[in-house]
């Protein structure tokens, strides 16, 4: 079964750091680009970051550029998101998603992990 499971979400103070993980199973992880998408409470979806299968190309949304770093370990079938200098507005449910290969759409989603930034 194709599956993604995020972890690492917690309550953190503004200015703090956090590392999210996404464990993939059931597919050839290294062959797929992956994305992070977030959803603030009661709000819509916001794309955060994109990384190709070989990690050769990485993109970030302007709202997180310079603060977040995406990476992957294909040997461990894992995707990561290092989040630094966290702000209140980073509070959201963070999803990892598998790029479908069709114009950037996401065909497999994890259940998400909640990040709360608050003092």
DSSP letter, residue 83: E
**Bridge partners (DSSP) listed for residue 50:** 35, 59
CB atoms within 10 A of CB 9: 18
Which of 70, 112, 113, 115: binder of another protein (CB under 8 A)?
A: 112
The number of C-alpha atoms within 13 Å of 20 and in the hemisphere containing its C-beta is: 32
116 binds another protein (CB under 8 A): no
Which of 59, 67, 71, 74 touches another protein by CB under 8 A?
A: 59
Q: Is 26 in the site for another protein (CB under 8 A)?
A: no
Position 9 contacts another protein (CB under 8 A): no
3 and 24 Cβ atoms separated by less than 8 Å: yes
35 binding another protein? (CB under 8 A): yes
Among positions 78-107, residues that touch another protein (CB under 8 A) are 95, 100, 102-107
Does 44 contact another protein by CB under 8 A?
yes
Q: How far is Cα 77 from Cα 87, in angstroms, rounded to an integer?
A: 29
- Residues of the shown chain interacting with another protein in the complex, contacts defined by CB under 8 A: 35, 37, 44-47, 50, 59, 61-62, 95, 100, 102-107, 109-112
């Amino acid at each position: 079964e194709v599956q993604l499971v995020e972890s690492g979400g917690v309550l953190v103070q503004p200015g703090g750091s956090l590392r999210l993980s996404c464990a993939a199973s059931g597919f050839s992880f290294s062959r797929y680009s992956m994305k992070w998408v977030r959803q603030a409470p009661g709000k819509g979806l916001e794309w955060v970051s994109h990384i190709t299968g070989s990690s050769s190309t990485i993109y970030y949304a302007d709202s997180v550029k310079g603060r977040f770093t995406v990476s992957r370990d294909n040997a461990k079938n894992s995707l990561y998101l290092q989040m630094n200098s966290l702000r209140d507005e980073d509070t959201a449910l963070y999803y990892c998603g598998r790029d479908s290969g069709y114009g950037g759409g996401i065909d497999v989603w994890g259940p998400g992990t909640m990040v709360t930034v608050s003092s």
